[in-house]
Amino acid sequence: MQEATPVPLTEETAADLAELFRAFSDTSRVRIIAALAGCEMNVNTLAEAVGLSESATSHHLRSLRQMRLVRTRKEGREVFYCLDDEHILSIYRMGLDHVQHPVRR
């Protein structure tokens, strides 16, 4: 594998990247992201799928929206959540693949 020359990060870019990874530092948020990797869901269905209260799920969704990891779609009075874009799904899947990969000794 050829090594690329590291590109220095601005403080703002480094902060944004740290914020992204902070979203993945909470098990409840990771479980919400995992559930949304399959399809969009409303808060009730999502809370049931991840085993959290609706209030806790809403709290995490608010954080994930602020971090631009999930977005909403309104249908009548119902709000549906989905992952914001393919990048979030890729980051989740790569992380999952990494932690499930056998340890090399």
Residue 6 confidence (pLDDT): 80
State the Cα–Cα distance between residues 24 and 2, nearest whole angstrom: 28
Rounded-to-integer distance, Cα 56 and Cα 64, Å: 12
Domain region containing 76: 22-99
Say if 28 falls within a structural domain: yes
Q: Kindly indicate the confidence band of residue 34, based on its pLDDT and cuts at 50, 70 and 90.
A: very high
The 10s digit of each residue's pLDDT in 43-73 is 999 999 999 999 999 999 999 999 999 999 9
Which tokens go with 34?
């995992």
Residue carrying the six token digits 């220095």: 8
Flag whether 66 is in a domain. yes
> Does residue 22 carry a pLDDT above 70?
yes
- The token pair at 87 is 């990048």
Q: Flag whether pLDDT at 1 surpasses 70.
A: no
CA-wise closest residue to 89 among 36, 31, 27: 36
CATH of the domain at 84: 1.10.10.10
Number of domains in the chain: 1
Residue 65 lies in a domain: yes
Rounded average pLDDT over 28-41: 97
Output the pTM of the full model.
Answer: 0.86
